[in-house]
Amino acid sequence: MYQPKLPKDLRCPLEHALAFVSGRWKSRILCLLFSSQSQRYGELKKMLDNITDTVLTATLKELIADGLVQREQFVEIPPRVEYSLTSKGRELVPFLRQICKWASQYHRPGENEDAELAHCKVCVVRAAGLKK
């Protein structure tokens, strides 16, 4: 069995940060929640193509456990649950946008530096609104 050479608490801070967004869906969910005040589960599912209920539920639970997303349940009939970013989650999204911008330079060669990926436009519009 593999034994790590260093205890987990001594890992590089970058590794720790990347663990928050590793996985196929985490960064997309964070950007979607950044683009609005809050989203209901069904709204998130509609915006994320090809995600299963099991994966969406598990990913949201991980983001909540990491302190990036908060879940608010309203006492209503029918029940309503909304997800939104915590302040920790809102602080992370600009860094994700910078990584996306950097990656787009190499992902689609020949395009200018300011080209944004189509699914990143939601974050870009929201960020522009926050700067005003």
Strand 69-74 with 39-40, pairing: unpaired
DSSP state of 81: E
Q: What is the pTM of this model?
A: 0.75
| Predicted pLDDT at 15 | 80
Picking from 70, 94, 95, 103, the residue whose alpha carbon sits closest to that of residue 13 is 95
Q: 18-53, pLDDT tens digit by residue?
A: 888 888 899 999 989 998 889 999 999 998 888 999
Degrees (nearest 5) of the Cα angle 93, 46, 74?
75
Using DSSP's 3-state secondary structure scheme, residue 62 falls into helix
- The neighbour count for residue 57, using CB atoms within 10 Å, is 13
pLDDT (0 to 100) of residue 97: 85
Tokens encoding 34: 């950044």
What pLDDT score was predicted for residue 89?
Answer: 94
Q: Which residues of the chain have pLDDT under 70?
A: 1-2, 4, 6-11, 107-132
Nearest CA to 31 among 48, 16, 9? 48
- In the prediction, which pLDDT does 113 show? 43
Instruction: List the domains of the chain with CATH numbers.
Output: 8-131 (1.10.10.10)
pLDDT for the residue numbered 103: 81
The pLDDT value given to residue 36: 82
**pLDDT for position 132:** 37
Whole-number Å distance between alpha carbons of 131 and 43? 26
Check residue 106 and give its pLDDT.
Answer: 76
